[in-house]
Structure 1
Amino acid sequence: MITVTPIAPETYRITPGRVLRSEWHKLWTLRSTWITLLAASGLTLGMGLMMGATYEPGGDAADMDVVVITLMGTQFAQVAIAVLGILTIAGEHAGGMIRASMTAVPRRTPVLWSKAAVFGSVAFAVTFLTHLTTFLAAQTLFSGTDQAASLNDPGVLRALAGSAAGLTLLGLIALGLGSLVRSVPGAIGAFVGGIMILPEVLTMLPYDIVRDAAPYFPARAVEALTTTQQAAGAASPGGALLALVLTAAVTLVTAGALTKRRDV
């Protein structure tokens, strides 16, 4: 006689932890994850070493903030991080895997929140570690110059962490755009055009409200987070971080609301 052992319903119950674990595995099994993270880290480290190797005391870069000149490569790395954020969600739409994800999690929004949580934690950890490594490596070349500094100097560690947080939030904004547009090329175009180019175009308008808001535009907010001292006309680190958090939150919440309404 064959005895069938019943399986408890809890075995198949959807929990936040299981959704997070699923998204963690999906992120790390994609080749694009490794490529974009390596590209972002390589560009940041390579540019930092190049700036240190070619730096001349008393030259045009002498007045630049030490963290800004060290992390010059983040101007390119932020595009790689944004592309990874877009691929995290829009790549599933392009490949059709999103149907399986939404079928397994009928409420839908936990998939988006889990993707954002996994991507955000990975992006921050990798960028912060890269920034620390780049700063320490570049300082071996800056030693003996007016750009010599240490992690204990005022504002240095905060600027390194702030830059990592800024890049991560830009990536989360890109992830939200990827969910809204559901197309990798379309979301990349929306990010580059709407987040990086359009705000700079708006600053040319002769309106006080635009001039007052300009320091809080995403790209400029990241710049404010990367400096050890607040530059003239720039947002404070706290204000810049808040502006990025709010922008990312609005983008993701809007994407979540549409995710519940639209067909997969």
Structure 2
Amino acid sequence: MNRVLHAEWTKVRTEPTARWLLPTIVVATVLVSLLAIAAASCEGGGCGLDPVALSLAGVQLGQAVVVMLAVLAIDGEQGTGLLRTTFTAAPRRMVVLAAKAVLTGGLTLAAGTVAVLGCVAAGRAILPGNGNGNGNGNGNAAPSLADGPTLRAVVGSVLYLVLIGLLALGVAAAIRDSAAAMGAVLALLYAVPLVAAAINDPELQRTLRRFAPMTAGLAVQATTDLDDLPIGPWAGLAVLAAWSGASLLLGALLLHHRDP
């Protein structure tokens, strides 16, 4: 396993695309959060928004870059024929997939931590000045890691990005085309919430949001009005973990039983 991990790490260090995708995760996430925070300016005492979830809004775009990183970790080799060489050098395909999962998860953890902390810092710096997060009596306060719900939202957002990466890696292992794999994951993340929003049946809408990977997983960011959520914060993250586990299992089975 150590030898395979070292080989995968060498690939990442020498792959230009992977090198620019990692900082892009940080830049895209923080930039979107800055735009969301700036757009939520309220005169005279808050808009009734969740300041922590607002500060972490950039995660919804940053996850798309994580998907790209995870898909290219395996399908990038498929397109160049390098995957066949990898399996020749390391015939135990499950070990190769496990090494890719560890590396993808670790890199996403590092980039996601920097990105999420940057979002929180932006929220602390900007929200009190535009009428949100100023302790105005409506339960709003600038994000602080000393606050339990905020810390849960921050840690949960980092874990969310890691799980999205593992979900995408599993799909990429199952689908041998980079564009198709990215399209499938992004549709699952972004299209399902749009379908749910278009449904008139409130109960069906709530059910879709409870079990869709993005809406369930992002429940971990909420710090206000928790009773109105379709699913609890940690339960929602567990739903996403189940999606990721199922994706990796499917990818492992297909990878094991077919030619590279």
Does the alignment reach a TM-score above 0.5?
Answer: yes
Greater CA deviation, 131-140 or 47-56? 47-56
Aligned 8 A contact 2:51 2:127 in 1: no
User: Within 5 A, what are the aligned runs for 1:46-61?
Assistant: 46-58=31-43
Please state how far the C-alpha of 1:133 moved relative to its aligned partner. 2.1
Specify every segment of 5 or more residues in structure 1 that has no aligned partner in the other structure, as ranges: 1-15
Pairing partner for 1:122 from 86, 90, 107: 107
Question: Could you tell me whether the CA contact under 8 Å between 2:12 and 2:19 is conserved in 1?
Answer: no
Is the alpha carbon distance of 1:210 and 1:68 closer, same or farther for their aligned partners in structure 2, counting shifts above 3 Å?
closer
Query: What is the RMSD of the two structures over their aligned residues, measured on CA atoms?
Result: 2.3
Q: Which amino acid aligns with 1:164?
A: V
Deviation larger for 75-84 or 221-230: 221-230
1:168 alignment counterpart: 162
The residue identity in structure 1 corresponding to 2:244 is A
C-alpha separation between the residues in 1 aligned to 2:88 and 2:108? 27
What percentage of residue pairs aligned between the two structures are identical? 29
Tell me: CA distance 1:120–1:75, structure 2 relative to 1, closer, same or farther (3 Å).
Answer: same
1:155 maps to 2:159: no
CA distance in 2, matches of 1:251, 1:18: 25
Q: Superposition pairs for residues 73-152 of structure 1, below 5 Å?
A: 73-143=58-128, 145-147=131-133, 148-152=142-146
Separation (CA, whole Å) in 2 of partners of 1:58 and 1:88: 47
* 1:166–1:221 contact (8 Å) kept in structure 2: no
Counting only pairs closer than 5 Å after superposition, residues 213-224 of structure 1 correspond to structure 2 as 213-224=208-219
2:110 counterpart letter in structure 1: A
Deviates more, 1:229-238 or 1:203-212: 203-212
> Which residue number in structure 2 is paired with residue 263 of structure 1?
259
Q: CA deviation at 1:42?
A: 0.7
Match of residue 244, structure 1, among 240, 245, 255: 240
The TM-score, its normalising length taken from structure 1, stands at 0.85
Q: Whose Rg is larger?
A: 1
Match of 1:8 in 2: none
Q: What residue is the counterpart of 2:28 in the other structure? A: 43
Shift of 1:256: 0.7
User: What is the deviation of 1:61?
Assistant: 7.1
Structure 1 equivalent of residue 137 of structure 2:
none
Deviations 1:62-120 (A, max 9, x none): 22211221122222111111111111111110111101110111121110111011101
SS in 2 for 1:63: coil
Moved more, 173-182 or 28-37: 28-37
Alpha carbons of 1:39 and 1:59: their partners in 2 closer, same or farther (altered >3 Å)?
farther
Q: 1:32 to 1:210 in 2, by over 3 A?
A: same
Equivalent residues of 2:190, 2:214 under 8 A apart: yes
Offset, 1:244: 1.1
Question: 1:197 aligned to 178, 186, 191, which one?
Answer: 191
String of CA shifts for 1:24-54, please: whole Å, max 9, x gaps: 2212321111222222211222223334445
Q: Secondary structure at the match of 2:228?
A: coil
